[in-house]
Amino acid sequence: MKSKHIVIGVTGSIAAYKAAELTSRLKQKGADVFVVMTENATKLIGPATFRALTGNPVVCKMFAEEDLYHSIPHVNLADWMDVLAIVPATANIIGKIAHGIADDALSTLAISTDKPIVIAPAMNNKMWEQKVVQENSNILSKRCCHIIEPETGFLACGYTGKGRLADLDTIIKKIDKLL
């Protein structure tokens, strides 16, 4: 992963904190990492955490004045990156990308790139099992994305079922393979 360019997309799943560990591990492997966060993700973990881990600005808005590094992040990062990994991915972001809805920095970046996209869902098991979520995941698998299915286990909501974020080693192996 040395000198590879990876963008981590972080969404508003309770598993957002695990994206910090993923980011740190990718940096330790020599990758240059940028993070793009949805607004809901920023309510669970702060951009300052990712800025400290990456040494790079964190994109949270489409056209943030303070982001002088990437004035049009969905264009500049789409060209710069070697892979986009959305970890964790909510049902919301999966649906947006599947249907071409680009209303924030992350969804716009995802539909602006021709680079590989890894999607690692994390949500309540009942959400994951919903027919529409499964259909949207299948659309993305057929089109452009590498879905890493969630694991079965204890979930933050107190349920047990399939919805836990996949093991970070599994995600890292997939990213490495795509690079």
CATH number for 157 = 3.40.50.1950
Which residue blocks in the chain are alpha helix, DSSP H?
Answer: 16-28, 47-54, 73-80, 91-98, 105-112, 125-129, 131-143, 168-178
Number of separate helices (H) and strands (E) present in the chain:
8, 8
Number of domains composing the chain: 1
Q: What is the pLDDT along the chain (179 residues), one digit of tens a residue?
A: 898 999 999 999 999 999 999 999 999 999 999 999 999 999 999 999 999 999 999 998 876 655 545 566 667 888 899 999 999 999 999 999 999 999 999 999 999 999 999 999 999 999 999 999 999 999 999 988 999 999 998 888 888 889 999 999 999 999 999 99
What's the rounded Cα separation, in Å, for the pair 178 and 64? Answer: 30
2 three-class SS? coil
Degrees (nearest 5) of the Cα angle 138, 144, 149?
Answer: 45
Residues 162/72, Cβ–Cβ less than 8 Å: no
Structural domain harbouring 24 = 5-178
Provide the annotated active-site residues. 157
What's the rounded Cα separation, in Å, for the pair 38 and 101? Answer: 14
What pLDDT, on the 0 to 100 scale, is given for residue 68?
46
What pLDDT, on the 0 to 100 scale, is given for residue 27?
97
What pLDDT, on the 0 to 100 scale, is given for residue 77?
87
What pLDDT, on the 0 to 100 scale, is given for residue 155?
81
